[in-house]
């Protein structure tokens, strides 16, 4: 049976096709109130986890007019999901399969998906392989083309040897690394980000993911063109699609966003002002824009 957490969600554990124990948060409003509204499933970024979505999940599940069930997933090797002994399994295809396993376990036949960064790349694959699962998609600062500069920046700060000694230092380190591109954030936002990214181990914040995930970025040859997912993006063409792009992002170029809009005439583009990669979805007017998009989706 799932455990009830005081944070307003149920903790759910399920098993991947290769036997790994994986984790999700399940925000369930009153069934009568949410009847007729499709659930929302949230997929986090490369080294992030379900805590990134907590404020947004509360907003959507407690919406006074259209409360929806919200499920946030920890990918393998992140958050409360088990680390994989086979580090080669940290790849998009395997992680897409884990999302399918979560939907099967939780009884989800069709849903609206929100994918932040790597979560959005996973959705490109799901659109191509399991299109009937998707009713609509929100991509958070991600598209079929990744900018090498932005990916190299992610590689560098994830593999930085500096480790915070306490929670104030953790928030300060995040601000030092990302403050120039996240000018919209207040001090409490940096601390909230730290609480989402780090796990408390013995009173000290420790990054909440398998270090092998960051280590793998070192093997990328940035002198070679990065592969793109335009073929998979075409599978999103039949769906309602929203793209949230950070005003100061270095991973998703304006050119790529423009080409996405050209190929998907119905794409709704929202700019997250004063934010970089990847925008915090519960800040400023982003929830309002997302609610408007969701309102058109049952």
Q: Can you read off the two tokens belonging to residue 206?
A: 């420790």
Diameter of the chain measured on Cα atoms: 55
Alpha-carbon gap, residue 73 to 118, rounded angstroms:
13
Rounded to two decimals, the pTM is 0.95
How many angstroms separate the CA atoms of 83 and 284, rounded? 34
Give me the residue label for tokens 């966003």.
257
Question: Which of 212, 179, 242, 245 has its CA nearest to residue 91?
Answer: 212
Torsion of CA 15, 18, 22, 28, to 10 degrees: -50
Is residue 49 a contact partner of residue 208, using CB atoms and an 8 Å limit? yes
Taking only the tens of pLDDT, the chain with its 298 residues reads 233 355 799 999 999 999 999 999 999 988 867 788 999 999 999 999 999 999 999 999 999 999 999 999 999 999 999 999 999 999 999 999 999 999 999 999 999 999 999 999 999 999 999 999 999 999 999 999 999 999 999 999 999 878 999 999 999 999 999 999 999 999 999 999 999 999 999 989 999 999 999 999 999 998 888 999 999 999 999 999 999 999 999 999 999 999 999 999 999 999 999 999 999 999 999 999 999 999 998 7
Preceding omega of 248 cis (within 30 degrees of 0): no
Give the whole-angstrom CA distance, residue 93 versus residue 58: 29
Nearest Cα neighbor of 50 from 67, 28, 75 is: 75
Q: How far apart are CA 98 and CA 78, in angstroms?
A: 13
Phi and psi angles of residue 51, each rounded to the nearest 5 degrees, phi first: -65, -25
Q: Rounded to the nearest 5°, which phi and psi values hold at 46?
A: -50, -50
Burial class (CB in 10 A: 0-12, 13-18, 19+), 88: exposed
CA distance 281 to 285: 9
Instruction: Beginning with the edge strand found earlier in the chain, give each strand of the sheet holding 111-116 in spatial order.
Output: 3-4, 10-15, 21-27, 70-74, 40-43, 111-116, 134-140, 241-246, 268-272
Contact, 133 vs 112, CB < 8 A? Answer: no
């Amino acid at each position: 049976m799932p455990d009830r957490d005081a944070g307003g969600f149920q903790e759910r554990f399920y098993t991947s096709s290769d036997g790994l124990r994986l984790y999700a948060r399940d925000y369930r409003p009153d069934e009568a109130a949410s009847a007729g509204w499709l659930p929302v499933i949230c997929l986090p970024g490369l080294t992030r986890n379900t805590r990134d979505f907590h404020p947004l999940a509360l907003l959507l599940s407690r919406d006074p007019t259209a409360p929806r069930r919200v499920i946030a997933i920890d990918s393998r090797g992140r958050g409360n999901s088990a680390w994989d002994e086979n580090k080669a399994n940290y790849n998009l295809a395997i992680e897409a399969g884990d999302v399918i396993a979560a939907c099967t376990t939780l009884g989800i036949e069709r849903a609206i998906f929100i994918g932040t960064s790597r979560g959005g790349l996973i959705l490109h694959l799901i659109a191509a392989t399991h299109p009937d699962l998707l009713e609509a998609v929100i991509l958070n600062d991600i598209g079929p083309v990744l900018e090498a500069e932005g990916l190299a920046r992610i590689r560098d700060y994830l593999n930085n040897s500096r480790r915070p000694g306490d929670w104030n230092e953790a928030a300060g380190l995040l601000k030092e690394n990302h403050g120039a591109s996240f000018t919209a954030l207040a001090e409490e936002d940096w601390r909230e980000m730290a609480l989402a990214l780090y796990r408390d181990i013995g009173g000290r914040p420790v990054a909440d993911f398998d270090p092998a995930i960051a280590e793998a970025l070192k093997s990328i040859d940035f002198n070679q063109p990065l592969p793109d997912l335009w073929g998979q993006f075409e599978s999103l063409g039949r769906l309602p699609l929203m793209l949230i792009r950070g005003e100061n992002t270095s991973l998703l170029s304006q050119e790529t966003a423009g080409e996405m809009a050209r190929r998907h005439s119905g794409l709704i583009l929202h700019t997250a002002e004063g934010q970089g990669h990847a925008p915090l979805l519960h800040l400023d007017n982003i929830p309002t824009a997302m609610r408007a998009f969701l309102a058109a989706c049952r």
